[in-house]
Chains A and B, each alone.
Chain A
Amino acid sequence: MKSVALHSKLTRVLFKGFTIILFFAISLSSYSQDIDEARQKEGRSLFKSLCASCHKLDKKLVGPALAGVEERRDNAWLKAWIKNNAELRASGDRDAVAIFEEYNGSPMTAFPQLVDQQIDDILYYTTVGDPKAAVVAGEEGVVKNTAEAPGWLIYILAAAIIVAFLIIANLLKTISELKGAPKSQGTLANLNDVWEGFKQNTFLKVLCVIFLLLMAVYVGFGTLFKVGVDEGYSPLQPIAFSHKIHAGDNKIDCQYCHSSAKHSKHSGIPSVNVCMNCHKNISEVAEDTKIEWDGITYGKAELDKEIAKVYEAAGWDVDNLEYTGNTKPVKWVRVHNLPDFVYFNHSQHVTVAGLECQKCHGPVEEMDEMRQFSPLTMGWCIDCHKETKVDLKGNEYYKKIHDELAKKYNVDEVTIAQLGGKECGKCHY
């Protein structure tokens, strides 16, 4: 085994080394085709910082796609346009007015601060494009094989172990019989003997009844206590939206999307226009994005289709970059749902108490698929209300009553429960 492992490791190293050498050979040869790397880099960084908010190389964005723009327009015209397009338009240049009209009269920002050399670098970058991405071929095949075992495998393993035990027991029995032990009369007869003995033993009977009763009570209560408690509930959503990518990797604040949590009873599901604030620009995910969804790993191909679902809901025409007005709702499935006989208000907890969302919803920024983290039972609410101290600073209006409460309970800081947060009528009315 060891030598095989070593061997495969060696091959892997050799293979990797080979691909890297191959890669360098290729990239070197491609760079030797007179691309001025310094100018390309300079142009790229200028483009990214100044132009990329409205232009892409290969796609229309707010403004036109810029790849190969040098072939379409005269260099002097481009410089005049970039430095001050309003002036160029005012001078009556026909091309300038035409492109302005084509983009519905939205003016481009003027860049008088750019010198000719910088503009040339940007134009150079639009012509030669991005440096070749450093993707090492074969890398993908080498890693992996670390996926977790699926659930059904565990059952099969358990069954295999039980079967193995039975076989071993049988073998042991046969061996002892061969060694000269008296041959037993088969399992059935043995069981019969045990049953006869059991029927005559009152103590054993009582013991069994007690055991069964306890089992029944345990199972019964366990089942009853789960009624209406949806901890771990994770319905399949219509769009494979990963909180991990949005809130975890990209660090977007929870309230950016759940914006009504600060003022309203509900934290709210964001409407699609909020998605479009970013996804108007981001129509595809990065190359190496992966999420776990319904037991399957979604890669770039699948996730781009999920973004397309947002466009469909918003009625966004990706090719012409405009809204068609043909919208349809996204039918998200509600995860957290308190019974109607409980009053709960998000703003009280988010704005007034200043709680982190994670306190109740758990590490959402690590979840690809959203699930209910807390049991949301009454006991769970009360536990927190008993422990949590109230921050009474800057609340002069109620200072007197707060002081009196602290004196009454003989504490420095009162808890929510002492402030009345345990009274039935606070939540049930």
Chain B
Amino acid sequence: MKNLKLIIALVTLTSLISCNDKRKPQVQYMPDMYESVPYDANGANGINGKPVNREPVVGTLVRGGYPSYDIADTPEGYEKAKAEVLNPLEASEVTLEKGKVMYEIYCSSCHGEKGDGNGVLSQREKFSGIPNYKDRDINAGSIYHVIMYGKNLMGSHASQLTYNERWQIVHYVEKLRTDLLVQ
């Protein structure tokens, strides 16, 4: 009798504790106020049951945005960008500051803080053969082209950066290259 009560007590206690399952969300009070009526970003069920995030129609222009980059991802395109494309931003102190912040998020893992190709991923041998900026003949147009499309093992970083941020990075990379060449 006494043992039975003990067992019941133990079982209730364990079930109470195991209710706290970290894999399941907690109960919600009035869930209709929690779940949004409009689609959530990254949602799985959007229009016609397709994922919410869709690619915009080809040629879509963001309101107040910039014309899309229309030089092709080919060796000829690279040469064309190098010869023709110019940086629309001024190399002011603010631009360089912003470029530095962006560079340190998106580039320095591989290219290193100084642009010498000695980033953390390079040191840990995840990526090897990352060039030093001073060893490459690059200019604003070619840097922008490579950020847009990537080159060799580098992938495109266009989806992570806005138009202005890309050009800020271009300024900062050119500055790093000059610094490396001076040394």
Please report A residues at the B interface, Cβ cutoff 8 Å: 47-54, 61-62, 105-107, 155, 159, 162, 187-188, 191, 226-230, 232-236, 249-253, 255-256, 259, 263, 265-266, 268-269, 271, 273-274, 276-278, 280-282, 329, 331-332, 334, 337, 339-341, 371
Interface of B is mostly: loop
CB neighbours of A332 from chain B (8 A): 42
Do A62 and B153 touch across chains, with their CB atoms under 8 A apart? yes
Do A229 and B153 touch across chains, with their CB atoms under 8 A apart? no
Q: Give B108 Cβ to nearest chain A Cβ, in Å.
A: 8
Q: Which residue of B lies closest to A335 (CB)?
A: B25
Counting CB contacts under 8 A, is B47 at the interface? Answer: no
Do A273 and B33 touch across chains, with their CB atoms under 8 A apart? no
A210 to B38, CA, bound (A): 49
Do A53 and B153 touch across chains, with their CB atoms under 8 A apart? yes
CB neighbours of B84 from chain A (8 A): none
Provide a sorted-by-A list of 15 A–B residue pairs whose CB atoms are within 8 angstroms: A61-B153, A227-B26, A229-B26, A233-B26, A234-B23, A250-B126, A253-B106, A259-B160, A266-B41, A277-B150, A277-B156, A278-B155, A282-B126, A331-B44, A340-B35
Do B160 and A256 touch across chains, with their CB atoms under 8 A apart? yes
Whether A52 touches B109, Cβ cut-off 8 Å, given contacts A234-B23, A273-B155, A371-B22, is: no
CB neighbours of B75 from chain A (8 A): 105-107
What is the total of A-B residue contacts with beta carbons within 8 Å?
130
Do B22 and A253 touch across chains, with their CB atoms under 8 A apart? no
CB neighbours of B24 from chain A (8 A): 233, 235
Counting CB contacts under 8 A, is B91 at the interface? Answer: no
Counting CB contacts under 8 A, is B120 at the interface? Answer: yes
CB neighbours of A273 from chain B (8 A): 155-156, 159
Do A280 and B29 touch across chains, with their CB atoms under 8 A apart? no
A331 to B130, CA, bound (A): 33
Q: Which residue of A lies closest to B130 (CB)?
A: A53
Do B1 and A188 touch across chains, with their CB atoms under 8 A apart? yes
Do A187 and B2 touch across chains, with their CB atoms under 8 A apart? yes
Q: Which 8 A-B pairs have the closest CB atoms?
A: A53-B129, A277-B155, A52-B129, A52-B128, A340-B36, A259-B160, A339-B34, A253-B105
CB neighbours of B44 from chain A (8 A): 329, 331
CB neighbours of B126 from chain A (8 A): 250, 278, 281-282
Q: Which residue of B lies closest to A152 (CB)?
A: B14
Do A271 and B128 touch across chains, with their CB atoms under 8 A apart? no
Interface of A is mostly: loop
Counting CB contacts under 8 A, is B152 at the interface? Answer: yes
A371 to B21, CA, bound (A): 12
A49 to B129, CA, bound (A): 4
Counting CB contacts under 8 A, is B124 at the interface? Answer: yes
CB neighbours of A265 from chain B (8 A): 41
Do B162 and A263 touch across chains, with their CB atoms under 8 A apart? yes
Q: Which residue of B lies closest to A329 (CB)?
A: B51
A229 to B34, CA, bound (A): 12
A229 to B128, CA, bound (A): 45
Do B153 and A54 touch across chains, with their CB atoms under 8 A apart? yes
Do A277 and B157 touch across chains, with their CB atoms under 8 A apart? yes
CB neighbours of B131 from chain A (8 A): 53
A282 to B23, CA, bound (A): 30
A339 to B40, CA, bound (A): 11
A12 to B49, CA, bound (A): 61
A47 to B35, CA, bound (A): 55
Q: Which residue of B lies closest to A236 (CB)?
A: B23
Whether A234 touches B129, Cβ cut-off 8 Å, given contacts A62-B152, A340-B33, A340-B36, is: no
A337 to B75, CA, bound (A): 45
Give per-residue flags for B136-169: 1 if the beta carbon is below 8 A from chain A beta carbons, else 0: 0000000000000010111111011110000000
